[in-house]
């Protein structure tokens, strides 16, 4: 799903050159795809809150996604500024 950008807190560049960024006002971590030029939801359902840890990345509720980190294999880690 294509989304808009509201309030970028942090960003990381993936091994493919795409840009992941946390957007605390929309409750998403988004992916700026360098091939298509579109912003796509990468983490978060768009619902503010917390709904457990056993959810897919697109089902997860996040409140205020903030700091991002990618390990060498491309796994994304992030923290929620409020949780």
Sequence-ordered list of residues with C-beta below 8 angstroms from that of 74, at least 6 positions apart, any chain: 14, 15
CA–CA gap between residue 13 and residue 18 (Å, rounded):
6
Whole-number pLDDT of residue 47? 87
Whole-number pLDDT of residue 64? 86
**Which stretches of the chain are DSSP H helices?**
none
Whole-number pLDDT of residue 42? 92
Whole-number pLDDT of residue 31? 93
Q: CA angle at residue 65 from 63 to 66, to 5 degrees?
A: 140
**What one-character DSSP code corresponds to residue 76?**
E
Whole-number pLDDT of residue 68? 95
**Running along the chain, 83 residues long, what does each successive block of 10 average in pLDDT?**
73 93 87 91 89 87 90 89 73
């Amino acid at each position: 799903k294509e989304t808009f950008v509201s309030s970028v807190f942090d960003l990381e560049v993936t091994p493919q050159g795409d840009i992941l960024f946390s957007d605390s006002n929309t409750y998403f971590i988004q992916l700026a795809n360098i091939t298509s030029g579109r912003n796509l939801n990468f983490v978060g359902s768009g619902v503010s809150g917390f709904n457990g840890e056993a959810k897919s990345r697109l089902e997860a509720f996040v409140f205020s996604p903030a700091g991002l980190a990618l390990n060498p294999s491309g796994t994304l880690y992030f923290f929620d500024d409020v949780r």
